[in-house]
């Protein structure tokens, strides 16, 4: 999802007998739903896994501004432009809340930024796909923010206090994002033939990449098992993907659009849809850096970071000079 395939300790979940007394007390707190706060004792693996996950989540919010920012200047009306601007600004805020949560674990903001720019840390695969038409902005809000919400709502209950609080704040803001996207889709789907075709084309291109956001099946993953035990992760990837499909298919039907999956069928027995898996080979290729926009996205972030250096340094020099003058005057 916004954090895909986050590695944990890789050693599997420890049994009670294998835990040190500290680890056992820690696990008891988690099992009793007592939040862990930054200064509390925590296993090193918990700290590292959280930094990876929150960091990747934060990077996704930041890089996720790029495909939508692409359409701010070309939104069809002034109102749509103002709405999209507000939405993209929210995503910047989400990135900031999450970076702050990660920093409470002892990593610096610059460290996180450098790891993003060097490619050491990832962001969600979804943002490596282009937004070619205005309908794509509708599809992104509806499907991409929709998938994000699916993942973020349970994460409000995650065990780490600062992460949970950031998620609560983010979730409050997200439903506006999904609704504005669906609102665009409704307009397009009820518009001219050309607009309808555009809406269908956007759904066709974003459907499978949205399913990939939840990551490959992790029912046998030792990393996910540990994250579930620590309540860093609340549901498995397959559970979230199923929920997303079940929620989204009727919404597509309402629009009169066709989900691009011949195998999509209601399964009475399981009370959910059967559906086709996305092309996981494509997913791994995109994660490796070979998606349609990986290069552009990273270049845009590097450019913003490098070209903003003089502003960061200048403001700090100014603040230091003023502080020194104040001390001298006292």
Partner 1 sequence: MKHEWPLWEVFIRGQHGLSHRHVGSLHAPDAEMAVKNARDVYTRRNEGVSIWVVEARHITATSPSDKGPMFEPSESKVYRHPTFFDIPDDVGAM
Residues that bind partner 1 (CB under 8 A): 37, 39-41, 86, 89-90, 93, 96-97, 100, 103, 108-110, 165-166, 169, 173, 312-313, 315-316, 318-319, 322-323
Helix residue spans in 107-160 (DSSP H): 109-117, 134-139, 145-155
Backbone angles phi, psi at 211, to 5 degrees: -65, -30
The phi, psi pair for 273, rounded to 5°, reads -85, 145
How many other C-beta atoms are found inside a 10 Å radius of the C-beta of residue 247? 13
The string of DSSP letters for 166-177 reads HHHHHHHHHHHH
Q: Which of 94, 122, 205, 243 binds Fe ion (CB under 5 A)?
A: 94
The rounded distance, in Å, linking the Cα atoms of 155 and 82 is 30
For partner 1, the closer of residues 176 and 208 by Cβ is 176
**Which of Fe ion, partner 1, none has residue 145 at its interface (CB below 5 to 8 Å by kind)?**
Fe ion
Select 110 or 279, whichever has its Cβ closest to partner 1. Answer: 110
> Which of partner 1, Fe ion, none sits in contact with 137, Cβ below 5 to 8 A by type?
none
Q: 10 Å Cβ neighbour count for 255?
A: 20
Cα distance from N-terminal residue to C-terminal residue, the chain? 54
Q: How many CB atoms lie within 10 A of CB 166?
A: 26
Distances (CA, A) of 98 to 3, 87, 192: 12, 17, 41
Q: Closest separation between CB of residue 145 and Fe ion, Å?
A: 4
Where does this chain touch Fe ion (CB under 5 A) — which range of 171-179, 227-235, 276-284, 313-321? 171-179
Asked whether the beta carbons of 146 and 185 are under 8 A apart, the reply is no
Bridge partner list, 267 = 272
Which CB sits closer to partner 1, 43 or 278?
Answer: 43
Query: For Fe ion, what does the binding mask look like between residues 16 and 55, x meaning CB under 5 A?
Result: ----------------------------------------
- Binders of Fe ion in range 202-261 (CB under 5 A): none
Which partner, partner 1, Fe ion, none, binds residue 177 by CB below 5 to 8 Å per kind? Fe ion
Report the distance separating Cα 150 and Cα 146, nearest Å. Answer: 6
Least separation in angstroms between residue 189's CB and partner 1 is 29
Should residue 68 be labelled a site residue for Fe ion when binding is judged by CB under 5 A? no
Interaction of residue 59 with Fe ion, rule CB under 5 A: no
**Residue 122, interface with Fe ion (CB under 5 A)?**
no
With CB under 5 to 8 Å by kind, the binding choice for 86 among Fe ion, partner 1, none is: partner 1
Residues in contact with Fe ion by CB under 5 A are 61, 91, 94, 145, 174, 177
């Amino acid at each position: 999802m916004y954090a895909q395939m986050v590695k944990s300790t890789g050693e599997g979940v420890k049994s009670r007998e294998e835990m040190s007394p500290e680890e056992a007390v820690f696990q008891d707190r988690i099992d009793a739903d007592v939040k862990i706060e930054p200064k509390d004792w925590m296993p090193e693996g918990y700290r590292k896994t959280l930094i990876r996950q929150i960091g990747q989540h934060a990077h996704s919010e930041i890089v996720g501004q790029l495909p939508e920012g692409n359409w701010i200047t070309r939104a069809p009306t002034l109102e749509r432009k103002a709405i999209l601007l507000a939405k993209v600004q929210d995503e910047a805020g989400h990135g900031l809340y999450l970076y702050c949560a990660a920093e409470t674990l002892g990593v610096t903001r610059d460290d996180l930024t450098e790891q993003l720019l060097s490619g050491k840390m990832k962001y969600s695969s979804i943002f490596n796909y282009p937004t070619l038409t205005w309908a794509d902005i509708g599809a992104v809000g509806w499907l991409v923010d929709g998938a994000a919400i699916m993942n973020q709502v349970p994460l409000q209950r995650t065990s780490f206090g600062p992460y949970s609080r950031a998620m609560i704040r983010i979730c409050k803001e997200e439903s506006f994002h999904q609704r504005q996207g669906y609102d665009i889709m409704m307009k397009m789907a009820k518009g001219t033939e050309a607009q309808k075709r555009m809406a269908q084309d956007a759904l066709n291109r974003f459907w499978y990449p949205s399913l990939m956001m939840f990551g490959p099946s992790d029912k046998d993953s030792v990393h996910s098992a540990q994250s579930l035990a620590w309540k860093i992760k609340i549901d498995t990837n397959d559970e979230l993907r199923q929920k997303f499909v079940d929620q989204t298919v009727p919404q597509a039907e309402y629009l009169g659009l066709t989900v691009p999956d011949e195998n999509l069928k209601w399964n009475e027995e399981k009370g959910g849809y059967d559906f086709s898996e996305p092309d996981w080979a494509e997913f791994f290729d995109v994660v490796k850096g070979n998606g349609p926009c990986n290069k552009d996205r990273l270049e845009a972030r590097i450019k913003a970071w490098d070209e903003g250096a003089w502003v960061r340094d200048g403001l700090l020099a100014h603040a230091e000079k003023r502080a020194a003058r104040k001390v001298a005057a006292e």
